[in-house]
Amino acid sequence: MMTPLIFITNDDGYYSKGIKALISVAREVGDVVVVAPMMNSSGLAHSLTSSRPLRVHTISEIEGCRIYACDGTPVDCIKLGVEHFCQRKPDLLLSGINHGSNSSINVLYSGTMGAAIEGAVMGIPAVGFSLLNHSPEADFGPSLPFVRQIVGKVLDKRLPEGVALNVNIPDTRGEKINGMRLCRQSKAQWLDSYEKRIDPQGRPYYWLTGRFECEDVGEDTDQWALENGYVSVVPTTTDFTAYEVLREWQ
């Protein structure tokens, strides 16, 4: 059997601790090509760069693992990286491990999941991983057995067309993780989103802030899983059609 080719990106930047953890797992089972953003690109969702050209810098090239940094978004990294920096179509696309949650409504804003969803658009089995800890020094050790298990399973079974996995991992700080659960995306929103400040010239400016509000915490949701010490796995679609509404209206 041919060695699997695994493509990796993230949205925290190619130098972050989370992507290094993901690379370490991927190298156990395949050849790895990394094209990841030069800089932190959190919150860039599915955005593309069209107003300027992109540059790519070689970070390291060793047998079985090539790492490049691109000055674009996570989705740019996938599209450009797969087309120009892979000899063949990858067998698997991994994004993350993100420093911070991409559960619930956060999937909409997430660069990590933007990249994974783009993988699904391109017909590559794709998984986004996130750990519920924002710290640059977060401990990814307890996540790795779950990452390893999912990577093995998706390499083996692939994924349905147009579907990526959104995997969030609770930060249990030493407590055992209870296992994995298949979930739906919880409904939620961010409230009180902007803090107004006045600059030294007396002019206003606005910082993004806000608090996460989620009242949809039934046992079938990703929020429930994470709050109860489980890894949440949400199959995530590239088709945004609201089919239930479409059927009702027709």
Chain CA centroid to CA 50, Å: 22
DSSP assignment, residue 106? G
Tell me: does residue 212 bind its own copies (CB under 8 A).
Answer: no
Q: Pick from 3, 43, 152, 213: which binds its own copies (CB under 8 A)? A: 43
Under rule CB under 8 A, how many of the chain's residues touch its own copies? 69
How large is the C-alpha radius of gyration of the chain?
18
Closest CA to 175 of 123, 219, 132: 132
57 vs 77: CA distance, rounded Å: 12
Question: What is the footprint of its own copies within residues 145-204 (CB under 8 A)?
Answer: 160, 162-163, 166, 182, 184-185, 187, 189-190, 192-194, 196-197, 203-204
236 binds its own copies (CB under 8 A): yes
Among 148, 168, 51, 11, which residue's Cα sits nearest to residue 105? 168
Are 37 and 13 in contact by the 8 Å Cβ rule? The answer is yes
Question: Smallest distance from the beta carbon of 123 to its own copies, in angstroms?
Answer: 8
Q: Which residues bind its own copies (CB under 8 A)?
A: 40, 42-51, 53-56, 73, 75-76, 79-80, 83-84, 105, 107-109, 111, 114, 117-118, 121-123, 160, 162-163, 166, 182, 184-185, 187, 189-190, 192-194, 196-197, 203-208, 234-243, 245-246, 248-250
